[in-house]
Amino acid sequence: MHELSIAMGIVELAEKEAAKAGGKEIEIIELEIGKLSGVEMEALDFAWPVATKDTMLANAVRKVHNPSGRARCMECNYEFDIDNLYDSCPKCNSYFKDIYMGKELRIKSIVIKE
């Protein structure tokens, strides 16, 4: 399961940062996972309890933001919403685009309990 390794990576990064700050537990973790990131949210929700068991995040509140996709056409410079990686420009039908939003997968913030 791809999402289990993602959850375990998030736990590892968050615990490293909490340890640097001298924390013993993470109260809140805020994630940004774009709709075009390739992460299946249901699978991540299923894997999360397994990945966080007996860790600093075991009792943490998880907040997830799912930004929508945005792209800029490389042919006509038109900016548009994008639902799929393979969508074409609605103005000129070109498939050459720069996707600048929606592929995020990052820890936005953590609240540490000392």
pLDDT digits (tens, 9 = 90+) for 57-91: 999 999 999 999 999 999 999 999 999 999 999 99
The reported pLDDT for the residue numbered 73 is 98
The pLDDT tens digits for 25-53 are 999 999 999 999 999 999 999 999 999 99
Record the pTM.
0.86
- β-bridge mates for residue 32, sequence order: 65, 106
Q: Is 15:49 a contact under the CB 8 Å cutoff?
A: no
Average pLDDT score over the chain? 95
pLDDT of residue 114: 75
Q: Does residue 1 surpass a pLDDT of 60?
A: no
- What tokens were used for 79? 């900016």
Average pLDDT over residues 1-6: 86
Q: Which residues contact 83 (CB under 8 A, 6 or more apart)?
A: 35, 68, 69
- How confident is the model at residue 59, as a pLDDT? 95
pLDDT of residue 113: 86
Fold of 2-67+102-113: hypothetical protein PF0899 fold (3.30.2320)
Sign of the alpha-carbon dihedral angle for 25, 30, 34, 40: positive
pLDDT confidence tier of residue 99, bands split at 50, 70 and 90 = very high
Mean pLDDT of 88-111: 96
